[in-house]
């Protein structure tokens, strides 16, 4: 088995409407309601990460809902990378509201 060079990031990891058992990985107070793949891509790019989008994939627990994934370059731990993306997502949404 070869080592992957990118993290697989699902939009469900950042979804405030999901529970931890439904796939949310970020604390609820840092998560956003129904994040889109494009938002995650922009947030990761603003952090200087390389992002590749695969839109036709479905999260394993919801196979009928094709949300896609973001393949993000590895820089540090996966959870820390996801927390940085979550903060950037929050900043993006706050900017949209103003």
pTM confidence score: 0.89
- Closest-CA residue to 26 (of 43, 11, 41): 11
Backbone φ and ψ for 54, nearest 5 degrees, come out as -125, 90
Give residue for tokens 């990985």. Answer: 25
- Check if the beta carbon of residue 72 is closer than 8 Å to that of residue 48: no
Domains belonging to the chain, first-starting first, are 6-97 (3.30.56.30)
Q: How confident is the model at residue 2 (pLDDT cuts 50, 70, 90)?
A: low
Nearest Cα to 43, choosing from 96, 98, 82?
Answer: 82
Which strands form 51-54's sheet, in the order they lie side by side?
6-9, 69-73, 51-54
User: Would you place residue 3 in the very low, low, confident or very high pLDDT band (cuts 50, 70, 90)?
Assistant: low
pLDDT band at 9 (very low <50, low <70, confident <90, very high): very high
pLDDT tens for residues 29-86? 999 999 999 999 999 999 999 999 999 999 999 899 999 999 999 989 999 999 999 9
């Amino acid at each position: 088995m070869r080592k992957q060079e990118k993290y697989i990031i699902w939009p469900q990891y950042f979804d405030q409407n999901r529970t931890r058992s439904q796939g949310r990985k970020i604390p609820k107070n840092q998560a956003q309601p129904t994040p889109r793949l494009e938002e995650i891509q922009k947030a990761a790019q603003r952090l200087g990460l390389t992002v590749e989008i695969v839109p036709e994939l479905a999260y394993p627990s919801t196979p009928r809902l094709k949300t896609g994934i973001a393949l993000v370059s590895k820089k540090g731990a996966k959870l820390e990378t996801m927390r940085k993306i979550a903060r950037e997502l929050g900043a993006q949404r706050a900017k949209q509201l103003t």
